[in-house]
Structure 1
Amino acid sequence: MILRQYKPEDKEKCVEIFQSNYPKFFDKSELSLFIDWLDHQVGNGSTYQSPTYTNSKKDAYFVIEHPEIGIIGCGGFYIVKDKNEARLAWGMIHSNFHKQGYGTALYKYRNEIINKEWPNHILVLGTSQHTYSFYEKMGMTITTKIKAGYGPDLDRYDMTR
Structure 2
Amino acid sequence: MNVSDPSIREYRPRDIEKVAALLRSNIPKYFVPAEEQELRDYLIEHPEDYYVMESGGEVVGAGGFAGNKDGSIGLCWGMVRNDLIGTGLGKRLTLFRMEKAREKLGDRPFMISTSQHTEGFYQKLGFETIEHIPDGFAPGIDICKMVAVRE
Q: TM-score, normalised by structure 1?
A: 0.84
| 1:9-158 aligned within 5 A | 9-42=14-47, 60-66=49-55, 68-81=56-69, 83-158=70-145
Unaligned runs of 5+ in 1: 43-58
Q: How many residues align?
A: 143
**RMSD, aligned CA:** 1.2
Query: 1:9 Cα deviation (Å)?
Result: 1.1
Distance in 1, matches of 2:30 and 2:11, equals 21
Name the structure 2 match of 1:45: none
Distance in 1, matches of 2:104 and 2:13, equals 25
Cα displacement string for residues 29-78 of structure 1 (whole angstroms, at most 9, x for unaligned residues) = 21111110111134xxxxxxxxxxxxxxxx51100011x24111100010
Query: 1:126 Cα deviation (Å)?
Result: 0.4
Contact 1:150 1:156 in 2 (8 A): yes
Cα displacement string for residues 105-143 of structure 1 (whole angstroms, at most 9, x for unaligned residues) = 111001111223333311000000100000000000000
Q: TM-score, normalised by structure 2?
A: 0.90
Unaligned runs of 5+ in 2: 1-5
2:9 is aligned with 1:4? yes
